[in-house]
Chains A and B, each alone.
Chain A
C-alpha cells in the first residue's frame, strides 16, 4: 500500500470520531495544492500528498478550538503542533495528528525560474526527480534544485508528534550545518549595506499581512499590533518605519517559538525574505538557551518562564 493509501485508510478509520480532518487536495494547476477539510468519507478520495503540499496545515488549528480536529502534518509542520501544545493554544486531546515523513517540498519561486509555469500541464515527483510537462515537452529536474530553502537544512523530516504515521520514516536529507548560513553570510556584509537592503525590502512591503495570516503561531487574532489603535504601536502610514517595526515585532514575538516553517516568507506576495528575521532569532535562542522550539511537547519555551538563573547563561560566574 502506498503512503497516501495508508493515510487515507487511517483517516477513514478515524473520521467518525472527528469533526473534520485537514489535508491537501490538488489546486487549480498541477503545481499547486490547496488545504481542504475532509468532513465526510467521500472527501477522502480528493486527498493528495506530494512535494507540492507546501502549506503548514497546523496554521488552522487555533481557529478550530472546541472542535475535534485531525490534521495531516509533515515533519516540519509537526513542530508547529508541538509548539501550539506547549503554549496551551490547542488541546492535545482534541487533536489527532496524521504524520507523514517528508522528502522535501517545492519552492514555487525556484520552479518559476526553471520553467514557464503558464504552460505546465503536468508535474510529477518521482523520488529525487521532478518531471514537468510544459506544452509539448517534458523536462526532468533534480528535486534538490527546486525544493524550498528550508528543506536544505531539514533536521526533522519525520513528524515528532503523531497519532498515526503513514509510510516509513526517512533519513534526514538536509544538511543541518547550512541552517543559519544565509544569516551568517548576510551578517558579514557592512552594516550600511544591510540597512540599505532592509530599507529596500521594506519599501516593497504592501502591508497585506499575508505573512501574519499564514503564520501558525500568530495567535493574537483581533488584537494584532498591526491593527490595534490602543495601544497605538503602528500608524496607518505606509512608510518604511511602520512596516519594518511590524516585521521586527512579529519576529520578536516569535523568538523561541518560531518553528521556521517558512510560511511567512512563502505567503509574501512581494517575496520579501522575512524568514531571515526569525532565523536570526532562532539562532540567538539556540545560542543563549540551547533551546529548539517545537521539539518536545513538555518543554517550556525559554521566554515563557522566569528564572533568576538561566541554566545556560552564567551571568555571575558562580
Chain B
C-alpha cells in the first residue's frame, strides 16, 4: 500500500502549538508511507488540490489527513480523494486540533502526541477496505412533534412543499405557548390574531394530518424509514362526532377543574374546549375532575351532547405511522416559581407568574382582560415585575439566560399602563437583554413613554404587610436598599426544557444537554440538524427562543426536510456490521442486543441457523460485534483488526518497555 500523509497547519490553530513539519517528517518512518507533507490550510482549494496531485504523482492508494475533527471535514476530504480516483473510505483523519493543539500548550508533547495519532491513523488505513454505499427508498412523509408556533410553521412549510405531514400535539389543541399570549413584542399585536390563521391553515391543509392529545410512544427505524408509534390519549370525546358546540361544558356540573390553558388562573369545567380559537375545536374530559370518573355517576355531558360524541369508555389508541423524517418542536416549559421561596410564589395569591399575568391581560382570559388582584379582585396600583426568576442563577442550576423575559416584561409593563393608566410598574432587572430588531427601542419605550420604573438589582424578599406585598430589593445603581409596597408581583419565570424532553430525545436517539434541551448538530453551522440523520429541531426544544426565532427555525427545519426528500433514494453508510457466516454459530445474541432490529435470523444452506445484517437498517453502532463472543460480526471500517492495530501502534512500545 502507498500512503500519503498531510499534516495541516490550520493557520496557527495547529501550527501554533504543534511542530507540524516534524510530524510530517516523522510520518515518513511509518510503514507504507511514501509521501508526507504539511499544508497551511488542507481544507482550502489549493490544499485539496495538493492531495489530489500527490495521489496521482505518487500513486497513493490511501490518504491520512492530520487536521481537525472528522466531524468538521471528513466529507470534504472524502470527496477530494474520490475526485482523485480513490475510494472515499481510503481516508483516515488524525484529529490533531481538537484533541491536541487546542487542549495542550506544551509544543514538544503536542508534537509527540500528534505523531502518535498519525501513526494510529496509518496503521488503521493499512487495513481499510474500499466500501461502496447502497441505496434505499425513502418514505416522504414527515412527522412534526409539537404543535406550537415552531411546529406549526414547520408543518405548513413542509406541506406547502408537497410533503405529507403528520403533526402530533400532546394537548387537545395546537397553538402551544404562543396561543396563551395576549400580545407579542415588539409590535404589541394580538398573539392569537396572528397565530390563529396559521392554526386554521394547519387544520385545513390537505397534506397535514393533525393528531392532538397524542404523544410519541416509540420510534424505530432510520432516516427515510422511521416507524413511529403514536399514542392518542383518551379524551372521552369522539372527535369525529364533536362539533365543538360547547353545550357540554355549559352544562357540566364540575366547575372547579384546573384550567391548564389559563395557567390555573380561574377554573374551568371538567369537560371543556381550552380556548375559543382551539384547533381542532373539540371538547375533552379531564378525568381528574369529572364527576362521572371520580364518583361514578353524572353523565350530564353525554346526555346533552347533540351528536352523542361523549364516550366514557374511550381508551388510549396506538397508531403506527411510517415517516421519512422527524422534526422535534416540543417547545419549553416554565420554571417552577415556587422553588424560589423568597418571592412568595405559591404562598401569596398576589404573586403570579408572567404567563398567568399574560392570561389576565388577555380579553379571552379568565378575567376578561381586566387586571385584578387574585386575592380580592381589586385593581392593583403598584405592580412589581421581578426578572430572571429561574434564569441566570447558578444556585438553582439554571445558569443560562432565557432570552425572552426582558422583552415580555417590557411588553407587560406597557400593557399594564394601557389597561390601568393610574398604575405604576416597577421592574427589578439584572441586565436588559434586547438584541433584536426594534427590541431595545421597545424596552426604552416601556421606560420612557410608559413610565415603568426600572430598578437594577435583585429582590431579596417579598412579604405581606397590611394587605399589600412588600418587595424589598437592592437598587445597585443608586447604591441603596429599596422597598416597594406592591399590589401585585409578577415573576418573569425563565424557560426550562419541556417535561419529558429527555425521554423523547432517547426515543429519537438524539442528544440533549444537562438541562434537557436537545443538542443541535453544530451550534453555529447545523442549528436545526441533530447528529441523528433524519431528525431535525425547531424552536425552543433546542434552547429558549422568542417567536421570530422559533418561526425561523420551523422554516429552516422544513427546508432541511425538503432538501433531504428532494432525492428519491438515499445512500446508506457502508460502514455497517457484517456477519462472517462461517464463524456464526447461530446463538443470535446479536439479534437480541441490536437496538435497531437490524439483524435477522436466516437458515443457511446446511439448515443451520445464522445471523445476517440488514445493511440499510444497521446504524453501525457496533453493539453486535462486541456481543458476538467469537468475532463473527465485524463492523466494516472499524474491524477488530483495525482497532487492534491502532491500539498496538499506541501501546506496543510502552508494553515492550514495561513487561515483555
Q: Interface residues, chain A, CB within 8 Å of chain B?
A: 87-89, 199, 219-221, 223-225, 228, 230-233, 239-241, 253, 300, 303-306, 308-309, 316, 318
- Interface status of B616 (Cβ within 8 A of chain A): no
Given contacts A224-B630, A240-B659, A306-B595, contact A233 B640 (CB under 8 A): yes
CB distance A87 to B589 under 8 Å?
yes
CB distance A300 to B592 under 8 Å?
yes
CB distance A305 to B629 under 8 Å?
no
Given contacts A230-B641, A318-B503, contact A241 B655 (CB under 8 A): yes
- Complex partner residue of B639 from A220, A231, A304, A316, CB under 8 angstroms: A231
In the complex, what's the smallest C-beta–C-beta distance from A1 to chain B, in angstroms?
41
Q: Interface residues, chain B, CB within 8 Å of chain A?
A: 502-503, 506, 583, 585, 587-589, 592-595, 623, 627, 629-632, 634, 639-641, 644, 655, 659-660
- Complex partner residue of B627 from A232, A300, A304, CB under 8 angstroms: A304
* B634 partner residues in chain A, CB cutoff 8 A: 231
Q: Is the interface of A mostly helix, strand, loop or mixed?
A: loop
Given contacts A223-B632, A308-B506, contact A303 B588 (CB under 8 A): no
* A304 partner residues in chain B, CB cutoff 8 A: 589, 592-593, 627
In the complex, what's the smallest C-beta–C-beta distance from B215 to chain A, in angstroms?
16
Least CB separation from B632: chain A residue: A223
In the complex, what's the smallest C-beta–C-beta distance from A60 to chain B, in angstroms?
17
* B623 partner residues in chain A, CB cutoff 8 A: 306
CB distance A316 to B627 under 8 Å?
no
Show 26 A/B contacts (Cβ-Cβ < 8 Å), sorted by A. A87-B589, A88-B588, A220-B629, A223-B585, A223-B630, A223-B631, A230-B641, A231-B631, A231-B634, A231-B639, A231-B640, A231-B644, A233-B631, A239-B660, A240-B660, A241-B655, A241-B659, A253-B629, A300-B592, A303-B627, A304-B589, A304-B593, A304-B627, A308-B506, A309-B506, A318-B503
In the complex, what's the smallest C-beta–C-beta distance from A300 to chain B, in angstroms?
7
* A87 partner residues in chain B, CB cutoff 8 A: 587, 589
In the complex, what's the smallest C-beta–C-beta distance from B514 to chain A, in angstroms?
10
- Complex partner residue of B585 from A219, A231, A303, A306, CB under 8 angstroms: A219
Least CB separation from A221: chain B residue: B585
Give the one of B506, B589, B594, B634 with max A CB within 10 A: B589
With the chains together, A304 CA to B587 CA distance in Å? 11
* B630 partner residues in chain A, CB cutoff 8 A: 220-221, 223-225, 228
Q: A199-B659, A303-B593 are in contact. List 7 more A-B contacts (CB 8 A).
A: A219-B629, A223-B630, A303-B627, A306-B593, A306-B595, A306-B623, A308-B595
CB distance A219 to B587 under 8 Å?
yes
CB distance A225 to B631 under 8 Å?
yes
* B639 partner residues in chain A, CB cutoff 8 A: 231
* A88 partner residues in chain B, CB cutoff 8 A: 587-588
* A309 partner residues in chain B, CB cutoff 8 A: 506
With the chains together, A74 CA to B146 CA distance in Å? 59
What 9 A-B pairs have minimum CB-CB distances, sorted nearest first?
Answer: A220-B630, A223-B630, A231-B640, A306-B595, A306-B593, A223-B583, A231-B641, A253-B629, A308-B506
* A225 partner residues in chain B, CB cutoff 8 A: 630-631
In the complex, what's the smallest C-beta–C-beta distance from A191 to chain B, in angstroms?
14
CB distance B644 to A318 under 8 Å?
no
* A228 partner residues in chain B, CB cutoff 8 A: 630-631
In the complex, what's the smallest C-beta–C-beta distance from A299 to chain B, in angstroms?
13
Least CB separation from B584: chain A residue: A223
* A300 partner residues in chain B, CB cutoff 8 A: 592
CB distance B502 to A318 under 8 Å?
yes
In the complex, what's the smallest C-beta–C-beta distance from A308 to chain B, in angstroms?
5
* B592 partner residues in chain A, CB cutoff 8 A: 300, 304-306
Given contacts A87-B589, A223-B583, A225-B631, contact A241 B660 (CB under 8 A): yes
Give the one of A89, A223, A241, A303 with max B CB within 10 A: A223
With the chains together, A308 CA to B621 CA distance in Å? 14
Least CB separation from A220: chain B residue: B630
* B595 partner residues in chain A, CB cutoff 8 A: 306, 308
CB distance A232 to B502 under 8 Å?
no
* B659 partner residues in chain A, CB cutoff 8 A: 199, 240-241
* B593 partner residues in chain A, CB cutoff 8 A: 303-306
CB distance A232 to B631 under 8 Å?
no
With the chains together, A103 CA to B439 CA distance in Å? 83
Give the one of B593, B630, B641, B660 with max A CB within 10 A: B630
In the complex, what's the smallest C-beta–C-beta distance from A203 to chain B, in angstroms?
9
With the chains together, A220 CA to B586 CA distance in Å? 11
In the complex, what's the smallest C-beta–C-beta distance from A165 to chain B, in angstroms?
29
Least CB separation from A218: chain B residue: B629
Give the one of B623, B629, B631 with max A CB within 10 A: B629
* B588 partner residues in chain A, CB cutoff 8 A: 88
With the chains together, A300 CA to B592 CA distance in Å? 9
* B587 partner residues in chain A, CB cutoff 8 A: 87-89, 219
With the chains together, A52 CA to B471 CA distance in Å? 85
CB distance B583 to A306 under 8 Å?
no
Least CB separation from B588: chain A residue: A88
Least CB separation from A203: chain B residue: B659
Least CB separation from B502: chain A residue: A316
Give the one of A220, A232, A300, A305 with max B CB within 10 A: A220
CB distance B594 to A306 under 8 Å?
yes
CB distance A233 to B644 under 8 Å?
yes
With the chains together, A220 CA to B506 CA distance in Å? 34
* B589 partner residues in chain A, CB cutoff 8 A: 87, 304
With the chains together, A89 CA to B630 CA distance in Å? 14
With the chains together, A71 CA to B634 CA distance in Å? 36
CB distance A232 to B629 under 8 Å?
no
* A220 partner residues in chain B, CB cutoff 8 A: 585, 629-630
In the complex, what's the smallest C-beta–C-beta distance from A77 to chain B, in angstroms?
21
With the chains together, A232 CA to B639 CA distance in Å? 11
* A233 partner residues in chain B, CB cutoff 8 A: 631, 640, 644
In the complex, what's the smallest C-beta–C-beta distance from A61 to chain B, in angstroms?
14
* A303 partner residues in chain B, CB cutoff 8 A: 593, 627
CB distance B632 to A232 under 8 Å?
no
* B583 partner residues in chain A, CB cutoff 8 A: 223
* B632 partner residues in chain A, CB cutoff 8 A: 223
In the complex, what's the smallest C-beta–C-beta distance from A312 to chain B, in angstroms?
17
In the complex, what's the smallest C-beta–C-beta distance from A135 to chain B, in angstroms?
46
In the complex, what's the smallest C-beta–C-beta distance from A54 to chain B, in angstroms?
26
Least CB separation from B621: chain A residue: A306
With the chains together, A240 CA to B629 CA distance in Å? 22
Least CB separation from B500: chain A residue: A318
Least CB separation from B589: chain A residue: A304
With the chains together, A219 CA to B644 CA distance in Å? 23
* B502 partner residues in chain A, CB cutoff 8 A: 316, 318
* A219 partner residues in chain B, CB cutoff 8 A: 585, 587, 629
With the chains together, A300 CA to B594 CA distance in Å? 14
In the complex, what's the smallest C-beta–C-beta distance from A255 to chain B, in angstroms?
11
* B594 partner residues in chain A, CB cutoff 8 A: 306
With the chains together, A304 CA to B589 CA distance in Å? 6
With the chains together, A316 CA to B502 CA distance in Å? 9
* A306 partner residues in chain B, CB cutoff 8 A: 592-595, 623
* A318 partner residues in chain B, CB cutoff 8 A: 502-503
* B585 partner residues in chain A, CB cutoff 8 A: 219-221, 223
With the chains together, A304 CA to B623 CA distance in Å? 10
* B503 partner residues in chain A, CB cutoff 8 A: 318
* A230 partner residues in chain B, CB cutoff 8 A: 641
Least CB separation from A244: chain B residue: B659
In the complex, what's the smallest C-beta–C-beta distance from A317 to chain B, in angstroms?
10
